[in-house]
Structure 1
């Protein structure tokens, strides 16, 4: 390996650029030649333009009534043999942050409340590079999504990404609508889109999922808000099943797999996963269905008396006992009572990850959970 400089670099470039980022991070230690190649801008450009499988989930709890933010962010690997949790992933940033969005290896965060000089950060945890943006309309409950497509990004000078901040306003007391502010890294400025979307529902679980140039947000009213980045058009998609038809409190989330949108619901009828076949004709296809009895029979040491717990909730309890938090590439992270579980819908594998108290607080309200894929995409290093 010491004679790397005498080898055909084109062959090494071609072979190594096809490998997943997780393997490449270990290969940096093989020799200086490989390290130089893996850090080369041309190599990172080519390598980052292929689709990466999800590597894990970021988890951050939130207080329900306290205005301050919980600063602890935990990384949960999407591996059934791995049991380690990482709480130092974002230690390279200049301050504690709250996560807002994740997209193709990049993560968008904001300053923690209370703050004096609020900022937004777009960063890559793999190479610990970050960009700081001024946040003039700072709001603890901001809904900011990140749109970044490495396959359509030349990265000649710097990467091109967009942020979309969603606001909800009252046209009349009974008529609400969403508006959209867009930040472009190309211009370095925010602007307000002319598009609005009439909707009386609130955004749910505070995250936008970017698929094929379109952002998606789940609402609490059985609809999915969508916004096309290029033509700046917004519309609503009805979910396949309404929560109103169930007697118990349902839990749901949206996610992505193979570039397609998925909807996950847990109810007294079981766990169901749908694929959106056509976003304009609202065509959903049921891809996975499992009764609660079948899940409990398969995993009795994890979930005890599951159906009874789901269907017999106290009337004053507004959260589902079994709640799907995030879904990506077949992996579902869910909360059952005070425990967090990792579940793979195709293989039916499940493992207990930890308890909520191990994640930074004894209780929380609607935690922020973001799927994450490793990437070597470079960001311009910010200066102090």
Structure 2
């Protein structure tokens, strides 16, 4: 799923099997604005704005069954980041992780985006169960991917660290693998039951796997490829890795390109890249109005969502 024009939402099938879901989320209560924040194992996390000065709601919903749960937000939630943790194989309950930057907590430091507090909401408890003061400098991009694996939320920072926060509020930092590319960035994903880091810069992209999460720097290089190998010498558009297939060795990439038919406006195209065959496949045009976040969504048809409406 992705964000489209005028804060609407779009859904595109990448498997060829179309799932008839309501991408506009019209089954939710009426709100002034709905922002997609995260997706985890078939559930979406949204921040739903109300008329000023009311505090927004977090809403966790299942688009496949049109069931939803309201999570009470905090007074700083409008300016915080939030990610979702959910594993239907273990429980129908979920966790919301709210990461509050200094700018959201103190108006006098409005340009400080280092995370200062982490709140954890448990649907089983029906409350925010942990509030953690974070003293280590850790800054994330608003649309940075977060991923949930074995009860732990993983997040990449802008200073080459991966933060691991479990549902009990315990936190540690893992040095992220890097390349000699000053313009590079990385995001974390789960694939085939393992934690992946996708690192991409102007010259090349690489995929790393954390083989043993108890060893902080035990990353194994799974694959790397140069920009020229991916797109050839004629392409000059910016690109980004936006997701990794949850079960196969496939990554998904967006590429900017100019269209003379649109007055040289930048258009966005979506590709898949198969690691084993090294084959790049065009999937679809995302147009010029699509924007982050791009959320990898696999429908969950189970009716079990704790405390649902």
**2:148 maps to which of 198, 210, 213:** 210
Q: Please tell me whether the aligned partners of residues 155 and 187 of structure 2 are also in contact (alpha carbons under 8 angstroms).
A: no
Q: Which residue of 2 aligns with 1:91?
A: 26
Is 1:104 the counterpart of 2:104 in the alignment?
no
Q: Which residue of 2 aligns with 1:323?
A: 240
Partner deviation per Cα, 1:223-242 (whole Å, 9 max, x = no partner): 11210114x21111222115
Q: Please tell me whether the aligned partners of residues 175 and 198 of structure 1 are also in contact (alpha carbons under 8 angstroms).
A: no
CA distance in 1, matches of 2:76, 2:4: 20
Q: Which residue of 1 aligns with 2:264?
A: none
Q: Please tell me whether the aligned partners of residues 160 and 185 of structure 1 are also in contact (alpha carbons under 8 angstroms).
A: yes
Q: Which residue of 1 aligns with 2:70?
A: 132
Is 1:278 the counterpart of 2:212 in the alignment?
yes
| Per-residue deviation, 1:357 | 2.3
Is 1:186 the counterpart of 2:129 in the alignment?
no
Q: Which residue of 2 aligns with 1:354?
A: 285
Partner deviation per Cα, 1:346-384 (whole Å, 9 max, x = no partner): 24241142144253xxxx5xx1121112212323442xx
Q: Please tell me whether the aligned partners of residues 254 and 269 of structure 2 are also in contact (alpha carbons under 8 angstroms).
A: yes
**What is the aligned-residue RMSD (CA, Å)?**
3.1
Partner deviation per Cα, 1:105-152 (whole Å, 9 max, x = no partner): 111111147654621111111111111223232533321111112122
| Per-residue deviation, 1:182 | 1.3
Look up the SS of the partner of 1:333 in the other structure: strand
CA distance in 2, matches of 1:358, 1:85: 23
CA distance in 1, matches of 2:55, 2:23: 23
Q: Please tell me whether the aligned partners of residues 333 and 342 of structure 1 are also in contact (alpha carbons under 8 angstroms).
A: yes
CA distance in 2, matches of 1:175, 1:376: 38
Q: Which residue of 2 aligns with 1:334?
A: 253
- In structure 1, runs of 5+ residues without a counterpart are 1-57, 63-69, 154-158, 298-303, 311-320
CA distance in 2, matches of 1:341, 1:326: 11
Is 1:78 the counterpart of 2:7 in the alignment?
no
| Per-residue deviation, 1:257 | 0.1
Q: Please tell me whether the aligned partners of residues 263 and 274 of structure 1 are also in contact (alpha carbons under 8 angstroms).
A: yes
CA distance in 1, matches of 2:58, 2:79: 14
Q: Please tell me whether the aligned partners of residues 143 and 206 of structure 1 are also in contact (alpha carbons under 8 angstroms).
A: no
Change (3 A) 1:353 1:101: same
Q: Please tell me whether the aligned partners of residues 146 and 162 of structure 1 are also in contact (alpha carbons under 8 angstroms).
A: yes
Q: Higher strand fraction: Structure 1 or Structure 2?
A: 2
CA distance in 1, matches of 2:158, 2:4: 19
Partner deviation per Cα, 1:212-256 (whole Å, 9 max, x = no partner): 1110111111111210114x21111222115xx325x32432211
Q: Which residue of 2 aligns with 1:343?
A: 272
Report the TM-score, using the length of structure 2 for normalisation: 0.79
Look up the SS of the partner of 1:369 in the other structure: coil
Q: Higher helix fraction: Structure 1 or Structure 2?
A: 1
CA distance in 2, matches of 1:195, 1:138: 15
Q: Please tell me whether the aligned partners of residues 158 and 185 of structure 2 are also in contact (alpha carbons under 8 angstroms).
A: no
- Based on CA coordinates, which of the two structures has the bigger radius of gyration? 1
Report the TM-score, using the length of structure 1 for normalisation: 0.65
- In structure 2, runs of 5+ residues without a counterpart are 257-266
| Per-residue deviation, 1:264 | 1.2
Change (3 A) 1:142 1:340: farther
Q: Please tell me whether the aligned partners of residues 176 and 199 of structure 1 are also in contact (alpha carbons under 8 angstroms).
A: yes
Q: Which residue of 1 aligns with 2:2?
A: 59
**1:377 maps to which of 281, 289, 302:** 302
Equivalent pairs counted in the alignment come to 283
Instruction: Identify which of structures 1 and 2 has the higher relative contact order when contacts are C-alpha pairs closer than 8 Å and 6+ apart.
Output: 1
